[in-house]
Amino acid sequence: MSALSDSIKSLLQFLDKEGLKPPTAAARVVEATRDTRADARGRLQIRREDLHTPEEYKQRFDELLSAGLPWINVSCYGVYEGALVIVIPNQDAARGGHRSTIRGRQRRSSKTDGTSIRW
């Protein structure tokens, strides 16, 4: 089991313990930066192509763990197309185009416009 899988499992257990049992255990992960937009109600606007399966995102999560951050927040922001939307806020990624590997290719974090997902 990966560190990301363990973190998602802990999040689901926490929600269940608080009486907030999610409707599904399926998950999609998105990394939010300072450039991630929010609507007037404070809801994040996320592009579909930025949603990753835990398997696709686990290497990036390991990169964040190795970066020496004091902690990595793992939060459930809602449900989209039958999967929980797990948001990993990363303030450092917004500075200077931090490089990350997702789906086996190098990807540069940047501000982009696109279709937003709202819940």
**Chain centroid to CA 116: how far?**
15
d(CA 37, CA 14): 27
d(CA 71, CA 49): 26
Query: Is residue 119 one of the residues assigned to a domain?
Result: no
Structural domain contains residue 31: yes
| 51 domain-assigned | yes
How many domains does the chain fold into?
1
Q: 37-92 pLDDT, tens per residue?
A: 989 998 888 899 999 999 999 999 999 989 887 788 999 988 999 999 999 988 66
In a domain, 118, yes or no: no
Alpha helix segments (H runs only) across the chain:
3-17, 54-66
**pTM given for the model:** 0.72
Residue 117, in any domain of the structure: no
Collapsed DSSP state (helix, strand, coil) of residue 34: coil
Measured N-to-C along each axis, helices 54-66 and 3-17 cross at an angle, to the nearest 10 degrees, of: 100
Q: Per-residue confidence at 34, pLDDT binned at 50, 70, 90? A: confident
Question: Does residue 116 belong to any structural domain of this protein?
Answer: no
Residue 114 included in any domain: no
Domain housing 20: 3-108
* 17 occurs within a structural domain: yes
Amino acid at 26: A
